[in-house]
């Protein structure tokens, strides 16, 4: 999750791993089959890789085995030839306003809607909007060499497959989860409100969850260019070996920091618990803080305090 806010999550895909899923059942006749609430059911435990079919992707190259990327995405790397390759991600939207940059909206015959948010030479981001407003995000990015094809073509192929699954009455599969897991926690309820309001500029906060995503967006209700705080619950692999992370002690507790000095952003990561049976993998809290137009000299310290307070609340 830590890189999704900067739209470079695709470059940090994890190695493929095993997952246990629960098969979906038929859609009840009294429910709208095109609604996200019907198709996904429990939005916290969706197995995103179960929704990815490799067949439509093979037209554009040789796909590797899909791997779950944290709680909210499935990642596939596709080799097009010896000099080209792209990453494909299918999952939850990564912010509360995913359609802010929309420049194209297409309504499918079924009534579902495809929104193009970003269409560039080497990056494509689109959303499939279901009848109740729940959105699925599909992104592709050229990672090796220039794209050998229109980078939005494989995105469209995946979206078409997803739309067909929804309209055919299928439902999503789900992970079987242990009792103690952040996957079933509420990201908005996890952060104490007094901790959020303690961030400079967030005196009058409003928290907003994102359907399908394990994240909560905190904003000041009275400022248009004020701070933005995004608290995420996720899985991370190899934190101690990541050269982009800075390990620090804050109030006697360890946090990992990712700082963008040029933009002024900072993400703080606090480990909640290791994943049993998974080497070097842990459930974490991530607090991303954009201090807004006014800037701040304490952005990383503030983000760290939010991450640690949320961790404490989750552990009880």
CB 205 within 8 A of CB 197: yes
CB 236 within 8 A of CB 281: yes
pLDDT at 287: 97
Set out the domains of the chain in order of their start, with CATH numbers. Answer: 4-175 (no CATH), 182-315 (3.40.1000)
Reported confidence tier of residue 47, pLDDT bands at 50, 70, 90: very high
Return the structure tokens found at 193: 């409100």
pTM: 0.83
- Rounded to an integer, what distance in angstroms lies between the CA atom of residue 139 and that of residue 213? 15
Q: What is the pLDDT of residues 50-83, one digit of tens each?
A: 999 999 999 999 999 999 889 999 999 999 887 8
Classify 230 as helix, strand or coil: strand
CB 300 within 8 A of CB 261: no
Q: What is the pLDDT of residues 264-313, one digit of tens each?
A: 899 999 999 998 877 789 999 999 999 988 788 899 999 999 999 999 99
CA angle, corner 143, sides to 161 and 122, nearest 5? 70
Return the structure tokens found at 174: 């789900």
pLDDT at 205: 81
CB 43 within 8 A of CB 212: yes
Q: What is the DSSP letter of 7?
A: T
């Amino acid at each position: 999750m830590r890189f999704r806010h900067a739209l470079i999550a695709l470059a940090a895909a994890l190695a493929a791993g095993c997952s246990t899923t629960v098969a979906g059942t038929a859609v009840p006749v009294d429910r709208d089959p095109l609604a996200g609430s019907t198709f996904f059911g429990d939005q916290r435990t969706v197995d995103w890789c179960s929704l990815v079919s490799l067949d439509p992707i093979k037209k554009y190259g040789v796909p590797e085995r899909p791997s779950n990327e944290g709680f909210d995405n499935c990642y596939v790397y596709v080799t097009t030839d010896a000099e080209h390759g792209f990453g494909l991600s299918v999952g939850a939207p990564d912010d509360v306003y995913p359609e802010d940059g929309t420049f194209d909206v297409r309504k499918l015959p079924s009534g579902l809607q495809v929104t193009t948010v970003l269409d560039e030479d080497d990056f494509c981001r689109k959303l499939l909007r279901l009848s109740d407003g729940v959105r699925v995000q599909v992104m592709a990015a050229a990672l090796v060499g220039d794209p050998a094809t229109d980078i939005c073509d494989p995105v469209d192929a995946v979206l078409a497959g997803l739309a067909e699954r929804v309209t055919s009455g299928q439902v999503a599969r789900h992970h079987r989860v242990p009792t103690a897991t952040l996957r079933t926690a509420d990201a908005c309820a996890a952060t104490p409100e007094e901790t959020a309001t303690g961030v400079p500029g967030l005196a009058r906060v409003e928290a907003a969850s994102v359907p399908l995503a394990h994240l909560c967006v905190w904003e000041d209700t009275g400022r248009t260019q004020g701070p933005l705080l995004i608290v995420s619950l996720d899985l991370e692999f190899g934190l101690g070996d990541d050269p982009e992370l800075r390990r620090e002690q804050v109030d006697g507790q360890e946090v990992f920091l990712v700082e963008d000095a040029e933009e002024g952003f900072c993400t703080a990561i606090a480990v909640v618990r290791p994943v049993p049976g998974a080497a070097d993998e842990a459930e974490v809290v991530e607090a991303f803080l954009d201090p807004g137009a006014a800037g701040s000299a304490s952005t990383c310290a503030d983000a760290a305090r939010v991450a640690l307070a949320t961790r404490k609340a989750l552990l009880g």
